[in-house]
Amino acid sequence: MANTAHLFKIGLVSISDRASSGVYEDKGIPALRDWLSAALITTFETEVRLIPDEQTEIEQTLIDLADHSGCHLILTTGGTGPARRDVTPEATLAVADKELPGFGEQMRRISLEFVPTAILSRQVAVVRGSTLILNLPGQPKSIKETLEGLKDEAGKSIVPGIFAAVPYCIDLIGGPYVETQETVVKAFRPKSAQRPPAQ
């Protein structure tokens, strides 16, 4: 059996009653895949799930991806608003060992640059074992802005995206060393944690 211990494995979970039942096409997972393909230098593989807004099913999916599939990072999309069926944050917190509030704070900060209703978002980030789980927005444009941040016309960062902190977080919880395309998002690490660029 091949040793995949150092392969960066990412779980992509789209949470939507209508998309999971085939009422409309899911756009969250394709948007995540496209962004990751552009942003990562590190080779990665994905495990994909499309599920309804059911808290028990979301919890089971996150546990399966973290504990059994060995994902280092899980990105969810959808189900983070105040509506009755929006239970992604509750499910995420239910399976967590630790909460990382800074991710949610920064996601709302980015979205507030565009819409005042960003304050209704309840996205959370947690660690389960050696897996980082991030709740992202549902819209492809918002997914990109949240991960990548906001830049001026010259490409200079105005508001940092949350993915800048993801590689170092994965280092700290025992995952593989992840490198990014700096033109998309520059991973931040303290000098003591940096390695020479991959050839």
Nearest to 165 by CA among 110, 80, 112, 106: 106
**The residue to which tokens 């005042």 are assigned:** 116
pLDDT at 199: 57
What's the full length of the chain, in residues? 199
pLDDT at 154: 81
Q: Which CATH code fits 8-190?
A: 3.40.980.10
What Rg value do the Cα atoms of the chain yield, rounded?
16
Rounded Cα gap, residues 197 and 190, in angstroms: 15
Nearest-5° Cα angle at 144, 170 to 123: 65
Q: Which two tokens stand for residue 197?
A: 């660029």
What are the boundaries of each domain within the chain? 8-190
Tens digit of each residue's pLDDT, the chain (199 residues):
333 456 899 999 999 877 777 767 888 999 999 999 999 999 999 999 999 999 999 999 999 999 999 999 999 999 999 999 999 999 999 999 999 999 999 999 999 999 999 999 999 999 999 999 999 998 899 999 999 998 888 878 888 999 999 999 999 999 999 999 999 999 999 999 998 876 5
pLDDT at 67: 98
pTM of whole model > 0.75? yes
